[in-house]
Structure 1
Amino acid sequence: MLLFFRPASVIRLPNGDSYGHPFDPTRVTQISWHPRAFLYRNFLTDKECDHLIKVAKDKLEKSMVADVKSGKSVESKVRTSSGMFLKKAQDDVVAGIESRISVWTFLPVENGEAMQILHYENGQKYEPHWDYFHDKINQAVGGHRIATVLMYLSNVEKGGETVFPHSEIKESQPKAEEDWSECAKKGYAVKPKKGDALLFFSLHPNATIDPLSLHGSCPVIEGEKWSATKWIHVRSFSHRRSRKQGCWDENANCAAWAVRGECDKNPLYMVGSADAPGNCRKSCKVC
């Protein structure tokens, strides 16, 4: 006897209504297999987008990149945006988004880094790069980044596309002259649309790196661009250490951030609260 089941089109999350709309797989489109990339229309509600921007707006600092040799955070002309990190499960909105990401990617919440909010103004960009690591220092904590979820928090009048220069289907994507920037025409591109989310994998299913995952953020030509990035590792990214072990930093960039004043500018992430310790307590000299 054959049994037929009608698949559910919506997956309910715990307390999902307080976080926004539930996860709906019918809104997901596979846009590429090499690299593996998927687009989720209206992954975030307008209220969620506006909330993330509001929380981050007065805490932005110049974006940094990881040095390929030392693994340390350094300034670079290839990345000209500004940004800041939220704390994991910082509030109900952030916790809800993180839960939804876990359901979509089938990767545990604890494998994710803290969410980064980015702001691009006119002419600002991020040159093509890979999200997997080239240094052993960053790989030591959670392993390689296996996946990236890039959430668009605003519309962009012109430019600001996410582009995959090595995508195997870049030649098949039609691009009208007036609709795309010159940067976007150099690969397969995704236009930023408020609420949409782009998921792409930096590793193959066998956990080897995927060079085709090279991607960049095209320069903003008109307007401004807000986005939120969630990097997810192959292993847990949380340091489960006993308080008896004393002070520690959860991120290799903590010392550099502390020098730049982040302990005061972003205390919830750096120092923490009475309920949960921060990620950079040692560099902030609070323990």
Structure 2
Amino acid sequence: MATRSDQRTPAGASTAQPARQSITPELRDWIAEQASAGCSPAALRQSLRAAGWDDDVAAQALADALQAPTSNSPEAHHRAPPLAVPAPLLADSPPFLDAGDRQVGVLLTLAQPRLVVFANLLAPEECDALIAAAAPRMARSLTVATQTGGDEINDDRTSDGMFFQRGESPLIQRIEERIARLLNWPIENGEGLQVLHYGPGAEYKPHYDYFDPAEPGTPTIVRRGGQRVGTLVMYLNTPEKGGGTIFPDVQVEVAPQRGNAVFFSYERPDPSTRTLHGGAPVIAGDKWIATKWLREREFI
């Protein structure tokens, strides 16, 4: 059986240009062996990148190798059981959903990953008000440090951001109530609304929003409300060029349009959810978004 010491020598590793790289059966077997030995997807991805694999190819290789294990495979036995997730009421393919104080359009739905693109979730004046309230409080965005359970600066995330407290103002309370009704998820299970600003060239490279169970800091993080089970990204403006929300595993890009939003859920902290996503670089203009992360329990 492969061990963690094998991480630096992935099968088929190459320093070839991305266009020439291919995902071989040997590479998939190596990934599966490393996963069964206890390596996390994040560690495996880093090893592939260090060995010369393009990041998009590495992400696809991980998805291919880990997304559909058989019931007798080691990955299946190590995989966490599914969690309840937020879910808009889409059984009858409605063109609009009732969000309480607003009718929200449904533009696109995917089953795997579970992804929905909404139209007009926010009014133009609400977008402007969120930007105005957030702008004086912006600072370099941090990411969760899964090694420690704290926060850290991450070179993959080149934006500025801030958090509103849940229910901090009438505007925030109104939007949170709308989200809770739209996604059928308790308002208290949501983290505070985060506003992010991306200038020209800024991006957030592909990542997962759930907390990796194999990382030492995860038990500390999930004490506040359990795992993350859903993400809602709301677009507060329309950039001139670039800045889309990308899902590399399924080759989907959601264009940022003011007032619209993209929602996706993940029933387990595992690449099989195919929720790898990122913020593509802003090419011209800038991008403002508001993100709502949803937990499995009350977030305190």
Structure 1 equivalent of residue 137 of structure 2: 59
Letter aligned with residue 190 of structure 1: V
Match of 2:238 among 130, 155, 166: 155
Match of 2:257 among 183, 188, 193: 193
Structure 2 equivalent of residue 71 of structure 1: 149
Letter aligned with residue 254 of structure 2: V
Letter aligned with residue 119 of structure 1: H
Match of 2:286 among 199, 220, 224: 224
Structure 1 equivalent of residue 116 of structure 2: 38
Letter aligned with residue 221 of structure 2: N
Tell me if 1:115 matches 2:193. Answer: yes
Task: Give TM-score, length-normalised by structure 1.
Answer: 0.67
Query: What displacement does 1:35 show?
Result: 0.8
Tell me if 1:214 matches 2:247. Answer: no
For residues 141-179 of structure 1, the C-alpha deviation after alignment (integer angstroms, 9 at most, x for no partner) is 211110111000000111100000112xx2xxxxxxxxx
Return the alpha-carbon distance in structure 1 between the equivalents of residues 256 and 225 of structure 2.
Answer: 29
Paired-residue identity, %: 37
- 1:85-164 pair list within 5 angstroms: 85-134=163-212, 135-164=218-247
Letter aligned with residue 129 of structure 2: H
Query: What displacement does 1:29 show?
Result: 3.2
Task: Give structure 1 regions of 4+ aligned residues with deviation exceeding 3 angstroms.
Answer: 7-12, 207-211
Query: What displacement does 1:12 show?
Result: 6.5
Query: What displacement does 1:75 show?
Result: 0.6
For residues 57-96 of structure 1, the C-alpha deviation after alignment (integer angstroms, 9 at most, x for no partner) is 1110000111221121001110010000111112221111
- Number of equivalenced pairs: 201
Return the alpha-carbon distance in structure 2 between the equivalents of residues 81 and 148 of structure 1.
Answer: 18
RMSD over aligned CA atoms reads 1.8
Return the alpha-carbon distance in structure 1 between the equivalents of residues 97 and 262 of structure 2.
Answer: 19
Letter aligned with residue 37 of structure 1: L
Query: What displacement does 1:32 show?
Result: 1.7
Return the alpha-carbon distance in structure 2 between the equivalents of residues 101 and 230 of structure 1.
Answer: 9
Structure 1 equivalent of residue 98 of structure 2: 11
Distance 1:91 1:130, change over 3 A: same
Indicate the structure with greater helix content. 2
Return the alpha-carbon distance in structure 1 between the equivalents of residues 278 and 141 of structure 2.
Answer: 14
Query: What displacement does 1:208 show?
Result: 5.6
Return the alpha-carbon distance in structure 2 between the equivalents of residues 151 and 127 of structure 1.
Answer: 18
For residues 205-239 of structure 1, the C-alpha deviation after alignment (integer angstroms, 9 at most, x for no partner) is xx46444101000010000000000000011102x
Return the alpha-carbon distance in structure 1 between the equivalents of residues 115 and 236 of structure 2.
Answer: 19
Checking the alignment, whether the CA contact within 8 Å between 1:130 and 1:211 is kept in structure 2 is: no
Task: Give TM-score, length-normalised by structure 2.
Answer: 0.64
Return the alpha-carbon distance in structure 1 between the equivalents of residues 230 and 121 of structure 2.
Answer: 17
Distance 1:10 1:151, change over 3 A: closer
Letter aligned with residue 153 of structure 2: E
Tell me if 1:49 matches 2:113. Answer: no
